[in-house]
Amino acid sequence: MPGPMPLEGVRVFELGIAIAAPNACKYFANFGAEVLRIESLNNPDVARLFASSWARARPELGPVMLDTSPYVSEMGAGKLSVGLDLKHPGGLAAARRLLRDCDVLITNYSSPAVKTLGLDYESVAAIRPDIVYVALPGFGSNPATPYYEFLAWGPNQAPLVGLDSLTGYADQEPAGIAAIAPPDYCSSLHAVIAVLTALEQRDRTGDGAYIDISQFEATIALLSPYLLDNVLNGHVQPRTGNRTSGAAPEGVYPCRGDDRWLAISCTTDDEWAALGEVAGRPAWAVDARFADAAGRATNADELDGHIGAWTAQYGADELAAWLQAAGVPAHAASDNYGVLADPQVRDRGYFKVRPSARFGRDLFSGNPLHLSDTPGSPRRAGPQFGQDTRHILRSVCGYSDGEIDALVAGGAAFEPPLPAVTLTRPYDAMLPVLIPGLSGDGTANE
């Protein structure tokens, strides 16, 4: 029988934009915390403004459009949406009332914005002295530092922290990281660790904590070996394509088909020998210059040419399976359809389907942490905009329905527009095929 969820009884106040704070709170929601996502009608999160492409073509949807972005479930599954305008005195008063009963506040609003709202650490600690307060601004919360007011947008942060200059080939300009924004996620994982540590400390001492995470600083720590290489040796690490210092050969090789590629990392001589066996022991596989790792690294360009000429004759998935069967680390460079069809991803049920008020059901990315005794999984997909306003203001703040009606009428709070419209995602009918193990009513998988 599973144990009680690790964060049962913990209430989190999420003042988030886009990724950094919301992604951290996803972890908390997965493991039993009640996450209150505070949302503003006048200034919706960009994650909601990136409406679905098909919805943008339907202006008649009006504010319902704000429920259509896939990010609503990607970043909001398992959370409660509380619609409060914090720039309205009534909305701010409700937020301050909520904070009396919150254990954690996490925000990635800019430091000046949090101060202007009156929700900086000092103000919140005055309401709830043992609050665990985590700020995730782009450049830290110290007004005396030069970049305090600088703008930090997710895709701009990977270049800043040094990741883009190390992405690509040495003979070409930096390829950059266009698909994802790693610093947002690295910062949010540091925030998860900070919050859990602070809760541990609070349980021991009764004290809350203020934790300031500069997104600039949090990701730089991960580049420490190359920073030390610069500070100690005066060396500036160049781009190395797909090669790392622990493996040779290591690269991405062409395969049969349109834009199909196979990744291979040989970290030991045994793996290199196994690769040669799978290739049928051609001349290059037994060439003495490639016999040890140093020789393979020195002659890497020539070796890559031989391997690429061999891989090009085969399909990426079949070659990956042959190489793995022989003990060689290899995998096709999957596109998103490949990820969806990946037998490992399907077997482990990575992608989740859960009930959704707006769509009936919705699909989103799962939880990379599998805890054997307390498996964490959200009960529902992302919330409708303001879906839980009334319930939370009533149950936590103790407001009457009349008081809530007045707040909504005055623009201090909001609820989902009526009548309820149920929408359908374009791929909804395919879900039983795409996602194995859907329940009888089709609204959830394991």
Partner 1 sequence: MSAGARPLSGLRVIDLAGLPGAYGAMLLAGLGADVIKVEPPAGDDLRHLAPFSRDGGARESLWFAAFGQGKRSVVIDCAVAAGRDQLRRLLASADAVIESHPPGALDAMDLGYAATSLANPALLWAAVTPFGQSGPRRDWKGSNLIAWASSGVLYQTGFPDRPPVTPGGPVQLACHVASLNAAAGLLLALRARRVSGRGQLIDVSMQECCLAINPESGVPLSLDDGIHRRRSGNRRNATRPFGLYPAADGHVSLLIVQPAHWRLLAAWIHETTGDEAILEPAFEDLAFRFQAADIVDAATEALTVKFRKLHLFHEAQRRGIPLTPVNTVADIAADPHLAAAGFFETSEHPVLGTYMRPGPAFRTPPGWWSLGPAPLLGQHTGEVLASL
Q: Is residue 425 involved in binding partner 1 (CB under 8 A)?
A: yes
C-beta of 226 vs 405, nearer to partner 1: 226
Among 41, 117, 252, 312, binds partner 1 (CB under 8 A): 252
Site residue total, partner 1 (CB under 8 A):
159
Among 218, 248, 300, 357, binds partner 1 (CB under 8 A): 218
262 - beta bridge partners? 253, 332
Cβ contact 296:290 at 8 Å: yes
Q: Is residue 442 involved in binding partner 1 (CB under 8 A)?
A: no
Among 35, 86, 209, 412, binds partner 1 (CB under 8 A): 209
C-beta of 340 vs 406, nearer to partner 1: 340
Query: Which range of residues in 58-66, 78-86, 179-187, 277-285 is near partner 1 by CB under 8 A?
Result: 179-187
| Rounded Cα gap, residues 146 and 352, in angstroms | 43
Query: Which range of residues in 95-103, 203-211, 276-284, 391-399 is near partner 1 by CB under 8 A?
Result: 203-211
C-beta of 151 vs 283, nearer to partner 1: 151
Interstrand relation of 132-135 and 209-212 (parallel, antiparallel or unpaired): parallel
Query: Which range of residues in 96-104, 157-165, 389-397, 406-414 is near partner 1 by CB under 8 A?
Result: 157-165
Cβ contact 51:69 at 8 Å: yes
- Residue 212 has phi, psi (to 5 degrees) of -110, 120
Cβ contact 182:219 at 8 Å: yes
Among 15, 80, 94, 181, binds partner 1 (CB under 8 A): 181
| Rounded Cα gap, residues 184 and 153, in angstroms | 9
C-beta of 215 vs 389, nearer to partner 1: 215
Which CB contacts under 8 angstroms, 24+ apart, belong to 159-168?
160/216, 161/216, 161/219, 161/220, 161/223, 162/220, 162/223, 162/226, 163/219, 163/223, 165/239, 166/223, 166/226, 166/237, 166/239, 166/240, 167/239, 168/239, 168/241
C-beta of 273 vs 406, nearer to partner 1: 273
Residue 425: helix, strand or coil by DSSP? Answer: coil
The helix or strand, by DSSP H or E, that contains position 360, with its residue range, turns out to be strand 360-364
C-beta of 17 vs 84, nearer to partner 1: 17
What does the block give as tokens for 344? 């490992």
Query: Least CB distance from residue 441 to partner 1, whole Å?
Result: 21
Residue 17: helix, strand or coil by DSSP? Answer: coil
| Rounded Cα gap, residues 102 and 129, in angstroms | 11
Which residues inside 376-405 make contact with partner 1, applying CB under 8 A? Answer: 376
Which residues inside 356-375 make contact with partner 1, applying CB under 8 A? Answer: 363-374
| Rounded Cα gap, residues 328 and 273, in angstroms | 9
330 - beta bridge partners? 264
What does the block give as tokens for 214? 């500069």
Query: Least CB distance from residue 36 to partner 1, whole Å?
Result: 20
Q: Note the Cα 351 to chain centre separation in Å.
A: 13
Q: Is residue 27 involved in binding partner 1 (CB under 8 A)?
A: yes
Pattern of binders to partner 1 over 84-123, x per CB under 8 A?
----------------------------------------
Q: Residue 328: what residue type?
A: V
Query: Which range of residues in 58-66, 166-174, 383-391, 399-407 is near partner 1 by CB under 8 A?
Result: 166-174
- Residue 110 has phi, psi (to 5 degrees) of -65, 155
Which residues have C-beta within 8 Å of that of residue 179, sequence separation ≥ 6?
Answer: none
Query: Least CB distance from residue 393 to partner 1, whole Å?
Result: 29
Query: Least CB distance from residue 105 to partner 1, whole Å?
Result: 15
Among 75, 105, 275, 278, binds partner 1 (CB under 8 A): 75
Q: Is residue 13 involved in binding partner 1 (CB under 8 A)?
A: no
C-beta of 41 vs 434, nearer to partner 1: 434
Which residues inside 277-316 make contact with partner 1, applying CB under 8 A? Answer: none
| Rounded Cα gap, residues 435 and 345, in angstroms | 10
Which residues inside 121-140 make contact with partner 1, applying CB under 8 A? Answer: 139-140
Q: Is residue 256 involved in binding partner 1 (CB under 8 A)?
A: no
Q: Is residue 343 involved in binding partner 1 (CB under 8 A)?
A: yes
Q: Is residue 42 involved in binding partner 1 (CB under 8 A)?
A: no
C-beta of 52 vs 389, nearer to partner 1: 52
C-beta of 4 vs 118, nearer to partner 1: 4
Cβ contact 304:252 at 8 Å: no
Among 59, 172, 422, 440, binds partner 1 (CB under 8 A): 172
- Residue 393 has phi, psi (to 5 degrees) of -65, -30
